[in-house]
Amino acid sequence: MAHSSLSNAKTGKNDEFYTQYHDIEKEMSAYLEYDSNAFRGKTVLLPCDDPEWSNFTKFFAQNFGRFGLKKLISTSYAVESKSYNSNYQPTLFEVNEPHYDETKTRVKGKIYTLERDKSGDGKIDINDLEWNYLEGDGDFKSAEIKKLRDEADIIITNPPFSLFRDFLSWIIEANKQFLIIGNINVITYKEVFPLIKENKIWLGTGMGRWISGFLVPDNYELYGTEAAIDSSGNRIVATNNCLWLTNIDHGKRHSPLPLMTTADNLRYNKRLKGIESYQKYDNYDAIEVPFTDAIPSDYEGLMGVPITFLDKYSPEQFEIVGCSYDYGRPVNWPKNINMSVTINGVNVYKRILIKHKQVIK
């Protein structure tokens, strides 16, 4: 399956997955719909991006004027610094430039910038992109890339899966706006969940199938039924286990989740068929809600919900109290009690603990 495919890549440090153009367009449209000036006057940095191939660079370059960007910066990692074999071939865009250097191209990172009408056609777009070699290999932790980070207003990319924790910390350290892609399980990371709980970061506008799949290199072995080659010859790995993570506001997070009462859920919710009552955890005073659409509107206490609940989470509707991990321990959960919630002695999968801000009877 595609999930295994992505897991194998993470283990092997083959993190070269490129986001499809229409997935980028769909996500960015949601922020612009909520705030038409979301990107206006901003410097956008696209690190870890391989601009010659990445759709992030293409998308923002093509929409530079429409979004009202101040500056676009993209950086890539040197081919020979990657921890896996790559059948890298420079593009004509690169080779045709006077400063192209065959050796530097393999050992140096590259920087692409867009901020002026280089072509003189009266607009700033992808035809005005300029590039040069970085001093180093393009590692985002280098002083060179940190300087670009500090210059930027917004950081957007699909970072290497294996470096997600470090990359997010790198962004948070600089207090920047961001929009990045990660695996659904990043929700449970100790570097991520506390920030979600404090409403400092949140999910983007979709998860799972919302991201239709990733483009992978020609040397990538395709696994399972959800890996395919499209009509243009692109190799695509579909997935249902990724999400956007951000601190840029959007309308979906302010839309309340429609809910039924406890009685109506037990009577009409097909996913609770055969269940007579919500079960309580052995080790904590909260009920188990196995599905997000089964959250009872009239329950006044704490509820344990799946981590995918965060895709529907509205901070005006719910309070996140904690999660079933030590770093998500609610203040009133005794420290001598295991944070893994159990029912009849059996551990329940990762749960987020929530309560209503306003109970609706």
How much is the pLDDT for 225? 54
Residue 204, pLDDT > 90, answer yes
Residue 70, pLDDT > 50, answer yes
- Strands 302-306 and 286-288, how do they pair? parallel
Residue 240, pLDDT > 70, answer yes
Average pLDDT of span 272-287: 94
**DSSP reduced 3-state for 123:** coil
Which of residues 102 and 111 earns the better pLDDT score? 111
Question: What is the domain partition of the chain in residue ranges?
Answer: 2-250, 262-356
- Percent of residues, the chain, with pLDDT higher than 70: 89
Q: Best-predicted range by mean pLDDT among 38-52, 92-106, 265-279?
A: 265-279
Nearest to 321 by CA among 347, 302, 297, 305: 302
Q: 288 φ, ψ to 5°?
A: -90, 120
Average pLDDT of span 78-85: 65
Distance between first and last Cα of the chain = 43
The pLDDT confidence band at residue 125, using thresholds 50, 70 and 90, is very high
- Chain center to CA of 218: 24
Residue 190, pLDDT > 50, answer yes
Alpha-carbon gap, residue 55 to 62, rounded angstroms = 10
Average pLDDT of span 3-27: 64
Which of residues 260 and 329 earns the better pLDDT score? 260
Residue 146, pLDDT > 70, answer yes
The pLDDT confidence band at residue 101, using thresholds 50, 70 and 90, is confident
How much is the pLDDT for 87? 61
Q: At what angle do helices 143-151 and 164-174 cross, to 10 degrees?
A: 50
Residue 307, pLDDT > 70, answer yes
Residue 257, pLDDT > 80, answer yes
The pLDDT confidence band at residue 103, using thresholds 50, 70 and 90, is confident
Average pLDDT of span 27-42: 98
The encoded tokens of residue 213 equal 């799949």
Residue 133, pLDDT > 70, answer yes
Which of residues 140 and 329 earns the better pLDDT score? 140
How much is the pLDDT for 11? 39
Residue 317, pLDDT > 60, answer yes
DSSP 8-state code for residue 296:
B
- Strands 318-323 and 235-237, how do they pair? unpaired
Residue 295, pLDDT > 70, answer yes
How much is the pLDDT for 92? 67
Please, are residues 124 and 114 in contact by the beta-carbon 8 Å criterion?
Answer: yes
How much is the pLDDT for 2? 39
In the predicted model, what is the mean pLDDT of the chain? 87
Residue 309, pLDDT > 50, answer yes
The pLDDT confidence band at residue 77, using thresholds 50, 70 and 90, is confident
How much is the pLDDT for 82? 65
How much is the pLDDT for 207? 78
The pLDDT confidence band at residue 16, using thresholds 50, 70 and 90, is low
Please, are residues 237 and 171 in contact by the beta-carbon 8 Å criterion?
Answer: no
Alpha-carbon gap, residue 77 to 51, rounded angstroms = 10
